[in-house]
Amino acid sequence: MIEFYFATGNEHKVAEANAVLSPHKIKVKKLEGIEKLEIQHTNLEEIAKTALTLIVPNTDKLVLVEDSGLFVHELNGFPGPYSSYVFETLGVDGILKLLNDSKSRKAEFRSSVSFGTKGKIFATFSSVSEGTLTTQAKGDNGFGFDPIFVPMWASKTFGQMDLNEKIVYSHRSKALKKLALWYLNAAKTNTLEENAIVVSQAPQNK
Ligand code: IMP
C-alpha cells in the first residue's frame, strides 16, 4: 500500500480521499503536526499550490493539499475561494437567503489538488461538480454546503448521500481520481518528477 498524507484538518476530506484512492491501493493519512496555510486568491489552484509550497520543504512524505469552494452562478461565483469563511459566517441559510428571489439556482463545486514531496510540487489537478441549490437544507451527511447541493444527474443532495454515493459526483473525488491515475502511471514509468516545480532543496536526513 502506498501512503499519501493529506494536509487538512477536515476528516470528511480524508475519508473521501480514502474512499476514492483505496481501490488504487493508496492509503491516505492525515498529515499531522503541520499547519496548512491558506492564502487569499481567486484561483483555487494557486491556493492549493502555495499551501503545498510551504509544506514540501519540510517533509519526505507524499503530501497532498486540496482547496475547494462553492461557486454560485447567480452570485457571480460567490463564495468561491471564500467558501469556508462564508460557511462559518453566513452558513447554509445565508446562501439560501441570498438566492431568495433569483431565477437560477445553478452552482458548482470546484476542487484543486496539489501533490508533491521533498521540496517539489509534482502535479496539480482540478475538477468541477455542477449542480443546483435546493430551497431548503436536506440531509445530515457530509459537511459544509452538502445539504443544499444536488449534483447534476442526481435527485438528492450530497447531504442525503452516503460517502460511496457522493464520490460518484464530487468535485474532490474527480480531482483525486486524476491524481491517482497520473501517480500510478508516473511511478511506473519513472516520470514523477518530469514536470516538477522545485520550491526548495530536499531536506537532509528527515
Ligand atoms: P477549504 O477547501 O478547506 O478551503 O474549504 C472550502 C469550503 O467550501 C468548505 O468549508 C465548505 O464550506 C465548502 N465545500 C468544499 N467542498 C465541499 C463539499 O464537498 N461539500 C460541502 N461543502 C464543501
Q: What domains, with CATH codes, occur in the chain?
A: 2-198 (3.90.950.10)
As beta bridge partners, residue 29 has: 5
Report pLDDT digits (tens) over 127-170: 999 999 999 999 999 999 999 999 999 999 999 999 999 999 99
Report pLDDT digits (tens) over 9-51: 999 999 999 999 999 999 999 999 877 777 888 899 999 999 9
Q: How far is the CA of 67 from the centre of ligand 1 (A)?
A: 8
Q: Residue 38: how many CA atoms within 13 Å on its side-chain side? A: 17
- pLDDT for position 201: 65
Determine which residue's CA is closest to atom 7 belonging to ligand 1: 84
- pLDDT for position 197: 95
As beta bridge partners, residue 132 has: 106, 150
- Measured CA distances, 6 to 18, 120, 187 (Å): 10, 16, 19
Report pLDDT digits (tens) over 60-111: 999 999 999 999 999 999 999 999 999 999 999 999 999 998 999 999 999 9
Mutate which of 39, 67, 70 to test ligand 1's pocket (most atoms within 8 Å of Cβ)?
70
Gap between the Cα atoms of 137 and 206, Å rounded: 47
Determine which residue's CA is closest to atom 3 belonging to ligand 1: 67
- pLDDT for position 205: 54
- Cell numbers linked to 170: 464530487
- Cell numbers linked to 108: 458548482
Nearest residue to 61 via CA among 137, 111, 122, 146: 122
- Average pLDDT of the residues in 181-201: 93
pTM exceeding the 0.75 threshold for the entire prediction: yes
Residues 179-204 as b or e (16 or more Cβ within 10 Å = b): bbebbeebeeeeebeeebbebeeeee
Helices (H) and strands (E) in the chain, counts: 6, 7
